[in-house]
Structure 1
Amino acid sequence: MRLRQIEVFYAIMTAGSLRRAAELLHVSQPAASKVLRYAEQSLGFALFERAGGRLVPTREARIMLPHVNAIFEKLSDLKRLTDNLRYARDGHSISIGCVPSLGLSLVPRVVQRYRADHPGMELTIDAMHGPEIVSRIMNHDLDLGIVFGDYTCDGLTALHIANIPLMMIDAEEGEGPVSVAEINPERYIGLSENDPTARMLDMVMEEARIPIKAHVRVRTHFMAAELVRLGGGCAIVDAVTALHHPGLPRPRPLSPPLSVTCTVLFRADHALSQISQSILTLLRSELDVDLLSLKK
């Protein structure tokens, strides 16, 4: 089948009729019918049965549909890629993906500072989890990714930005440093096992033979903090979340200290643009502000 024949077939399957398919493709109905007829002739079997003025997909058409869907998904990927490449050449836009915790305070501050000096710049910011950020960078959907933890992947550069301390938040406890051994297991709100922070904490507790098993696990530091705010227990979260989530008690440092790496990801085959370098400078600056406030 030629691409145009595939387009007509897909449009009919999607729209449900030849008339609506022709409208989607911005062609006349006779022209669409002619392409469909040629497609069936080249295949040697019918794609639709004519019943009462309607086109009913044949068994063969239904078998073909998932494969045709995959073709159009690839075409969509290609269009998105070419758009990204075109806008990247223009030099006036940047797409950033960040983990949700950093997207609630740190990254918006960075973006606001950058836009204040570059009002004509186009920025796209998405909050998502680390594996999706990696996937979208490799697919040219993102220029930069800001994540917790270390990610190793062929074709990906990981740039260490800072070590962000982990903090205990608990409305019912006192002040000063706290050991993980002091955590009440009945009140502990853990992070998803896929989170790099959760993996580190679980390892620390296992090595220290601390029998803590979270009864509640959540996917983001923000959600853990919100549960603490509502009186749902205690949690260990990154310092940025602990500092900026409204309504939380004063966070307590861990003893011994633990931290999570803040890492910026980008494609290894791309040199960082001037825009990206400026964003990184501001990111480090804003992180310094947060980390300094912890010492006060």
Structure 2
Amino acid sequence: MRLRQIEVFYAIMTTGSLRRAAEVLHVSQPAASKVLRYAEQSLGFALFERKGGRLVPTREAQIMLPHVNAIFGKLSDLRRLTHNLRYARDGHSISIGCVPSLGLSLIPRVIQNYRAEHPNTEITIDALHGSEIVSRIFNHDLDLGVVFGDYAREGLTAHHIADIPLVLIDKEREGGSIALTDIDPARYLGLSEKDPTAGLLEMALDEAGIEATPAIRVRTHFMAAELVRLGVGCTIVDALTVLHHPGLPRPCTLSPPLSVTCTVLFRADYALSHISRDILKLMRRELGVDLQTLATMV
């Protein structure tokens, strides 16, 4: 099938009629009908049957549809890529992915400060989990990814920008220092096993001889913190979440201390634009402010 024939087939399948398909494609109905007829002739089987004035997809059409969906998904990716390349070339666009905790703490302030100086820059921000960020960087959907952990991959450059302390939050124990062995495992709220912080904590708990099987696990530090705010239990999260989540108890430092790396990711074959470099500087500055504030809290 030629691309135009695939377009007509896809339009009919998604709109449900030849008339609406022709409208979507900005062609006349006879022209769309002609393309469909040629497609069926080249394939050697019918794609639709007429029943009560409607076009009903044949079994063969239904089998083809997932493959056609994949083609149009790739075309959509290509359009997005060319858009990103065009605006990156012109130097006034950036696309950033960040883990949810940073999307609720660090990144909004960075964008606020950058936007104040560069009001005409087009900025796209997505809050995603680390593996999704890596995938979208490789797919050219993101210029920068900001994650916890390093996510080392071939073809990916990782810039370490700060070590973020992990802290305990618990309404029954505010402030001070606490050993892992003093945390109540029955009240402990865990993070998703896919979270880099969760892996770090589980190793530390194992070394301390603690068997903790949380009855509740969540995918984001923010949700874990909100459960603590509601009195559900206690949890260990990154300090940035605590700083920017109102209503939480005063955090406790861990003894021995634990921290998670905050890392900026981008493609190894991607030359950082001046926008990306400016954003990186702002991240480091804002993280410095947060870490100084944290020092006064614990």
Please, what TM-score do these two structures have when normalized by structure 2?
A: 0.97
CA RMSD of aligned residues (A): 1.0
Partner of 1:83: 83
Q: Does 1:242 align with 2:239?
A: no
Contact residue 95 and residue 124 of structure 2 kept, 8 A: yes
Q: Distance in 1 between matches of 2:118 and 2:105?
A: 20
Q: Deviations over 1:220-278 (max 9, x none)?
A: 11001101111111110001011121001111110000000000000110111111111
What SS does the corresponding residue of 1:159 show, helix, strand or coil?
A: strand
Partner of 2:43: 43
Q: Does 1:96 align with 2:127?
A: no
Unaligned 5+ segments in structure 2 are none
Partner of 2:20: 20
Contact residue 243 and residue 251 of structure 1 kept, 8 A: no
Q: Does 1:65 align with 2:65?
A: yes
Q: Which residues of 2 match residues 148-163 of structure 1 at below 5 A? A: 148-163=148-163
Q: Distance in 2 between matches of 1:102 and 1:29?
A: 51
Q: Distance in 1 between matches of 2:34 and 2:175?
A: 78
What SS does the corresponding residue of 1:178 show, helix, strand or coil?
A: strand
What SS does the corresponding residue of 1:189 show, helix, strand or coil?
A: strand
Q: Does 1:4 align with 2:4?
A: yes
User: Residue type matched to 1:133 in 2?
Assistant: I
User: Residue type matched to 1:210 in 2?
Assistant: I
Q: Deviations over 1:37-75 (max 9, x none)?
A: 111111111111122322121111111111111111111
Which 10-residue stretch deviates more, 263-272 or 121-130?
121-130
Q: How many residues align?
A: 296
User: Residue type matched to 2:48 in 1?
Assistant: F
Q: Distance in 2 between matches of 1:246 and 1:60?
A: 57
Contact residue 189 and residue 234 of structure 1 kept, 8 A: yes
Contact residue 174 and residue 249 of structure 2 kept, 8 A: no
Partner of 1:220: 220
Contact residue 101 and residue 240 of structure 1 kept, 8 A: yes
Deviation at 1:154, TM superposition (A): 2.0
User: Residue type matched to 2:283 in 1?
Assistant: L
Q: Distance in 2 between matches of 1:174 and 1:278?
A: 38
Q: Which residues of 2 match residues 163-182 of structure 1 at below 5 A? A: 163-182=163-182
Q: Distance in 1 between matches of 2:210 and 2:51?
A: 70
Q: Does 1:282 align with 2:266?
A: no
Q: Distance in 2 between matches of 1:276 and 1:87?
A: 13
What SS does the corresponding residue of 2:86 show, helix, strand or coil?
A: helix
Q: Which residues of 2 match residues 69-148 of structure 1 at below 5 A? A: 69-148=69-148
User: Residue type matched to 1:166 in 2?
Assistant: L
Q: Deviations over 1:119-157 (max 9, x none)?
A: 222211111111111111111111111000111222111
Q: Deviations over 1:200-235 (max 9, x none)?
A: 101111122112221111101100110111111111
Contact residue 178 and residue 254 of structure 1 kept, 8 A: yes
Q: Deviations over 1:71-113 (max 9, x none)?
A: 1111111111111111111111111111111111211111111
Unaligned 5+ segments in structure 1 are none
Instruction: Indicate the percent of aligned positions where both proteins have the same amino acid.
Output: 76
Q: Does 1:183 align with 2:171?
A: no
Q: Distance in 1 between matches of 2:51 and 2:232?
A: 61
Q: Distance in 2 between matches of 1:39 and 1:175?
A: 71
What SS does the corresponding residue of 1:175 show, helix, strand or coil?
A: coil
Contact residue 11 and residue 24 of structure 1 kept, 8 A: yes
Q: Distance in 2 between matches of 1:164 and 1:236?
A: 12
User: Residue type matched to 1:27 in 2?
Assistant: V
